Amino acid sequence: MIKELPRLDEMPPDRPEMAGPDHPIRKMTQQIAFDPAAWTPERKTKVAELFDAMAPEWSKRATIERREPLRDALARGGPLPRGLCVEIGSGTGASTPDLADHFETVMALDLSREMLRHAPAQPGHRVQGDASTLPLADGSAASIVLVNALLFPIEMDRVLAEQGTLIWVSSLGEFTPIYLAAADVDKAMPGEWSGVAGRAGWGTWAALRRS
Ligand SMILES: C[S@@+](CC[C@H](N)C(=O)[O-])C[C@H]1O[C@@H](n2cnc3c(N)ncnc32)[C@H](O)[C@@H]1O
């Protein structure tokens, strides 16, 4: 059960309408969230190539409007447990400083080597990896944060500590290519979860914990 919090800011103008419900990445995001078999080796190769190619220009997308939903999630989505924060699909690191302000240690993990190469060395420990098979022990992450990143529910559930928090952010809300509604994140995760959701800047967010 996810409770929607009231919006605190005004929606900024000119939200880029990057993707509607029929966008191929939007469909892939849904498939992967609800069917582990949808993440095939061929798809993994294609996704890595796609983001490797976009990496040199990616940091131009990091506007303040895009950062607002994560900041709101960190401010109102708590409690945020102490310990390791795993940032999935960290890209060129636009969100990592905000996470480093809240968590002791941030692992900034991405499939794309080029994205990581264009990210600053600090803050956050950059790790190349696939979020469907994380190089982490069961229950070792106090928080897992996904900003415009693919949700692999079984692996997120395995790695997140019992009292851990899962934060999902879509920087452009319903117009984000990698988008899931808060209710879909809740439905896709194994077991019973509860939490809060909100809107800020151009985006949407959800923070979930096991019920
Ligand atoms: C839309 S970008 C978002 C990047 C960053 N979070 C941002 O908002 O600017 C998605 C990122 O997820 C990464 N990614 C895609 N599939 C992944 C996987 N299976 N494991 C880890 N990262 C993945 C891509 O390489 C890309 O950097």
| CATH code (residue 188) | 3.40.50.150
Residue 137 within any structural domain of the chain = yes
Residue 169 in contact with ligand 1 by CB distance below 6 A: no
Does the Cβ of 147 fall within 6 Å of ligand 1?
A: yes
Tell me, using a 6 A CB cutoff, whether residue 179 lines ligand 1: no
Q: What is the pLDDT of residues 147-157, one digit of tens each?
A: 999 999 999 99
The set of residues, in sequence order, having a beta carbon less than 8 Å from that of 63 and lying 6+ positions away, is: none
With the most atoms of ligand 1 within 8 angstroms of its CB, the residue from 29, 42, 46, 51 to mutate is: 51
Ligand 1 proximity of 107 Cβ (cutoff 6 Å):
no
165 in a domain, yes or no?
A: yes
Residue 109 · residue 129 · CB < 8 Å = yes
CB distance 110 to ligand 1 below 6 Å = yes
CA distance 179 to 14: 19
Residue 68 belongs to a domain: yes
Query: What's the structural domain count of the chain?
Result: 1
Q: Is the CB of 74 under 6 A from ligand 1?
A: no
Quote the pLDDT of residue 62. Answer: 80
Which pair of structure tokens corresponds to residue 92? 């060129």
Residue 107 lies in a domain: yes
| Domain contains 4 | no
6 inside domain: no
Best residue among 90, 116, 130, 202 to mutate for probing ligand 1's pocket (most ligand atoms within 8 Å of CB) is: 90
pLDDT at 207: 98
Q: Is the CB of 119 under 6 A from ligand 1?
A: no
* Residue 3 falls inside a structural domain: no
Q: pLDDT tens digits, the chain, 211 residues: what are they? A: 899 999 999 999 988 888 888 999 999 999 999 999 999 999 999 999 999 999 999 988 888 888 999 999 999 999 999 999 999 999 999 999 999 999 999 999 999 999 999 999 999 999 999 999 999 999 999 999 999 999 999 999 999 999 999 999 999 999 999 999 999 999 999 999 999 999 999 999 999 999 9
CA of 146 to the centre of ligand 1 (A): 9
Q: Is 28 in the pocket of ligand 1 (CB under 6 A)?
A: no
In a domain, 162, yes or no: yes
Give me the helices (H) in the chain, please. Answer: 24-34, 41-58, 64-76, 96-100, 113-117, 153-159, 182-188
> Exposed, middle or buried: residue 83 (CB in 10 Å: 0-12, 13-18, 19+)?
middle
In the reported structure, the alpha carbon of residue 140 is separated from the centroid of ligand 1 by a whole-number distance in angstroms of 21
Q: Tell me how far the alpha carbon of residue 150 lies from the centroid of ligand 1, in angstroms.
A: 7
**Domain extent at residue 162:** 16-210
